[in-house]
């Protein structure tokens, strides 16, 4: 027999509790770990009649975190699946629709809402929350040095890449434009290079990485056909604008003889076996002098 | 002396690890809690020269969660402040820009990126990630019954509200339109009403709430001028489209004599003292038969 079940995924208003930039008296309790208050994510419920299929009421920007802490909403069936059958939007505020961004990945579900709200989603003017009177936007050209900003100088450089997935047309071209950039960052005489997405390690790019004190480099997939072999996507890493770690054209081989202080793979896809401590792939990259980035990793150069 | 510091906020690719809808072999390890793998949020670094001011390199959709687990990025100064001085976007992919949604709340910072990427932000077509070939969108009219969806029937109803903040013009009108809706949800003979945002409890709305087995209602602020008194905003709750809990026109008073099975406040702002166990305000709402929602709260009717 159907019973109406409700899970509170998030109980706070926009910004959550504590709010990222707030030291109001109550947020201060939360930041201090006062036992009288409990942290809360942004507003959302999940409802179900059978405890198996769930409908979300609003998708908060914290939705991914909420799914992580809610076993009922985690996939149980096929390789790509979800117990989330749909989402109902009660309005178009950011704290209620931002989580839709976490429900991408080609997963079918149904989105409900008033025509007014769905029109907002279609129009996508949500980034108007970044009020230009408050948030300054500075376009930065390729090789334009900016800073010091927070004591750092930064210089973006073009890396081979493609347009974002949501703007892809019928054909996808890999080009070295400002669509995707890497960053050189310097302070205290040290140089960090950050390239979380890179479709090809050409000679110019290798030269730029040479001599860096620290490199964070695209570690999306281990092999080029990793997603294809797992049946998760028809796309190779190359098609997604990423250079695989392994193989004769991979980053491991291309950077093997380049002088770099510390080399760290980042932007690691969930299919990449380097995520598994002790795996042959992890051992292979570690033996080659690479590290695998982890949340909370801290490096002081 | 400046030293280049790097914090890895997130080391996974788009979707994070595990990914919400994925049961690939490696995600299965994470879902099962296998000690060989560690959960990872989406791609972002923080860099600093002095350990005080930080620059984010990309803003992932997990940014709020990352701030919560990173003391260095938490506010330390004024009532509204942040150590985050700016964000550099290396491209316009969702996993790199979605977190900008978490940096709202009238907080100044600087956004850097190529003209191409900043144009994307301005255009805001990011919600194109919800591919209409995969995600079906169903506009639902006021009082239109939908379902069964996951065994539930749903009926939206208009509640007094205003347009989303990011679409506000010079004047803001409170109206009972489809801009903000409440939801009646039924299964197994029980009825839940969900109203996370409501600017006024008029007679029609009170009649609709009457007899519900469970009500989740707008608990944004305790008093109408709460944000104003704290110096956090010039806006009253009413101006933000919310009805305060307390006061002669508040929801506590308006619903005191209405027959409702369980009454739960949700969408609670970080300034609301009902967040504090044992506070006079918490005791007042509890004495009136209300509960305060919390993340992980589960109710089976």
Asked whether the beta carbons of A246 and A280 are under 8 A apart, the reply is no
Chains A–B, number of C-beta pairs less than 8 Å apart: 603
State the pLDDT at residue B199.
92
Q: Which chain A positions have a beta carbon within 8 Å of B64's beta carbon?
A: 16, 20, 41, 61-62, 65
- Cα(B73)–Cα(B84) distance, integer angstroms: 6
Asked if the bond preceding B18 is cis, omega within 30° of 0, the reply is yes
The C-alpha angle B27, B42, A85, rounded to 5 degrees, equals 60
- pLDDT tens for residues A226-267? 888 888 778 898 888 899 999 999 999 999 999 999 999 988
Instruction: Say which DSSP state B101 is in.
Output: G
- Cα(B94)–Cα(B14) distance, integer angstroms: 8
B211 min Cα distance to partner chain A (Å)? 16
Among A9, A267, A300, whose Cβ lies nearest the Cβ of B13? A267
Smallest CA–CA distance from B111 into chain A, residue: A137
- Matching residue, tokens 């760290």: A264
Smallest CA–CA distance from A5 into chain B, residue: B300
> Helix or strand or coil: residue B51?
coil
Does the beta-carbon distance from B110 to A214 stay under 8 Å?
Answer: no
Does the beta-carbon distance from B20 to A186 stay under 8 Å?
Answer: no
- pLDDT tens for residues A32-76? 999 988 888 988 888 888 889 898 988 999 999 999 999 999 999
b/e code A253-268 from CB counts within 10 Å (16+ = b): ebbeeeebeebbbbbb
pLDDT digit string (tens) for chain B, length 301 residues: 677 788 889 988 878 889 898 888 888 999 999 998 888 898 888 888 888 989 898 899 999 999 999 999 999 988 788 999 888 878 777 788 889 888 877 788 888 888 877 877 777 666 665 666 777 777 888 898 987 766 778 888 988 987 676 667 777 788 888 778 888 988 888 998 988 889 999 999 999 999 999 998 999 899 999 888 888 778 899 888 899 999 999 999 999 999 999 999 988 888 888 888 889 999 999 999 999 888 877 888 8
State the pLDDT at residue B103.
86
Q: Which chain A positions have a beta carbon within 8 Å of B117's beta carbon?
A: 178-179
Full set of structural domains in chain B with CATH: 5-300 (3.60.15.10)
Interface test with chain B among A114, A180, A281, by most B beta carbons within 10 Å: A114
């Amino acid at each position: 027999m159907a019973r109406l079940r409700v899970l509170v995924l998030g109980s706070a208003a926009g910004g959550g509790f504590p709010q990222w930039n707030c030291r109001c008296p109550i947020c201060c309790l939360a930041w201090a770990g006062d036992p009288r208050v409990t942290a809360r994510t942004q507003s959302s419920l999940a409802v179900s009649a059978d405890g198996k299929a769930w409908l979300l009421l609003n998708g908060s920007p914290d939705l991914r975190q909420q799914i992580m802490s809610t076993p009922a909403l985690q996939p149980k069936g096929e390789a790509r699946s979800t117990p989330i059958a749909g989402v109902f939007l009660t309005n178009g505020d950011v704290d209620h629709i931002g989580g839709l961004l976490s429900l991408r990945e080609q997963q079918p579900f149904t989105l409900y809402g008033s025509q007014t709200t769905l029109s907002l989603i279609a129009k996508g003017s949500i980034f108007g929350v970044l009020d230009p009177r408050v948030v300054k936007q500075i376009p930065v050209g390729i090789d334009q040095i900016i800073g010091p900003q927070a004591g750092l100088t930064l210089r973006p450089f073009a890396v081979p890449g493609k347009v974002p997935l949501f703007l892809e047309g019928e054909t996808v071209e890999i080009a070295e434009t400002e669509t995707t950039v890497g960053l050189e960052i310097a302070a205290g005489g040290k140089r960090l290079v950050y390239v979380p997405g890179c479709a090809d390690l050409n000679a110019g790019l290798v030269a730029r990485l040479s001599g860096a004190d620290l490199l964070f480099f695209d570690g999306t997939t281990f092999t080029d056909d990793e997603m294809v072999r797992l049946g998760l996507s028809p796309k190779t890493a190359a098609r997604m604008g990423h250079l695989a770690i392994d193989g004769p054209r991979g980053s491991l081989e291309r950077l093997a003889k380049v002088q770099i202080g510390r080399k760290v793979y980042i932007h690691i896809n969930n299919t990449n076996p380097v995520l598994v401590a002790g795996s042959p792939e992890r051992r292979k990259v570690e033996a080659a002098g690479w590290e695998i980035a982890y949340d909370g990793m801290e490096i002081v150069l």
